[in-house]
């Protein structure tokens, strides 16, 4: 998960208030929207784990450089209200500044993923529970601050046969069931 201050020099208040807070979700099959708009022309290589490995850096551009924007992979399961994230925004950080399509399509993966155009002091972070890595992070039953607010199935989620018994599968199946019921109800 990456949260982006898309106009860092002009921001004067925290994430609450009336500034836009856009959420973009990674979509793997061929980057349709970015590709169709002519924003993403980079060829995929063997080092990319998803087809949106690079297009995520177009988030400021896609948000029209207004307010804050968040890019999230499509393999997240949110268990808490995303509005809580807005309260964690600290305007002194510019996690990503303006990234034009030319930069995204021409810079190396290392340059982009390491935020090499920023100084370390310009990069903030959220508590790990907002990017709780299934199979890596651990819940301490005696510490409620370790309870996931967003589970990131980076190894593969229960929608894959090989990961149908992964950690938090019960939560995934519950949310899938709720979604399916709601979808059927809305269709009637």
Which residues does 46 contact at the CB level (< 8 Å), separation at least 6?
Answer: none
| pLDDT tens readout for residues 57-114 | 888 888 888 888 888 888 889 999 988 888 888 888 766 444 667 777 788 888 887 8
Number of domains the chain contains? 2
85 exposure class (CB count in 10 Å sphere: 0-12, 13-18, 19+): buried
Answer yes or no: do 181 and 120 share one domain: no
The last residue of a domain, from among 99, 124, 149: 124
Predicted TM-score (pTM) of the model is: 0.72
| pLDDT tens readout for residues 128-177 | 999 999 999 999 999 999 999 999 988 888 888 888 899 999 998 898 88
Query: Which structural domain, as residue segments, surrounds residue 79?
Result: 2-124
The last residue of a domain, from among 83, 104, 124: 124
Picking from 161, 163, 135, the residue whose alpha carbon sits closest to that of residue 148 is 135
Pairing of strands 2-5, 68-72: antiparallel
Give the residue, 41 or 81, on which the prediction is more confident. 81
Answer yes or no: do 100 and 55 share one domain: yes
The last residue of a domain, from among 124, 152, 172: 124
| pLDDT tens readout for residues 20-36 | 788 888 766 543 444 44
Answer yes or no: do 116 and 174 share one domain: no
């Amino acid at each position: 998960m990456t949260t982006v201050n898309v106009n860092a020099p002009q921001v004067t208040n925290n994430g609450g208030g009336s500034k836009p807070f856009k959420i973009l979700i990674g979509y793997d099959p061929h980057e349709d929207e970015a590709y169709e708009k002519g924003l993403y022309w980079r060829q995929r290589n063997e080092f990319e784990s998803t087809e949106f490995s690079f297009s995520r850096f177009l988030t400021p551009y896609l948000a029209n450089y207004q307010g804050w924007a968040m890019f999230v992979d499509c393999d997240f399961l949110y268990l808490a209200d995303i509005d809580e994230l807005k309260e964690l925004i600290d305007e002194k950080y510019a996690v990503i500044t303006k990234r034009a399509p030319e930069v995204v399509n021409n810079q190396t993966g290392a340059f982009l993923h390491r935020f090499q155009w920023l100084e370390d002091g310009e990069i903030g972070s959220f508590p790990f529970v907002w990017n709780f890595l299934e199979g890596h992070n651990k819940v301490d039953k005696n510490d409620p601050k370790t309870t996931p607010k967003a589970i990131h199935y980076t190894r593969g989620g229960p929608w894959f046969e090989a990961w149908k018994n992964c950690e938090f599968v019960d939560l995934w199946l519950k949310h899938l069931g709720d979604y399916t019921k709601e979808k059927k109800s809305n269709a009637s």
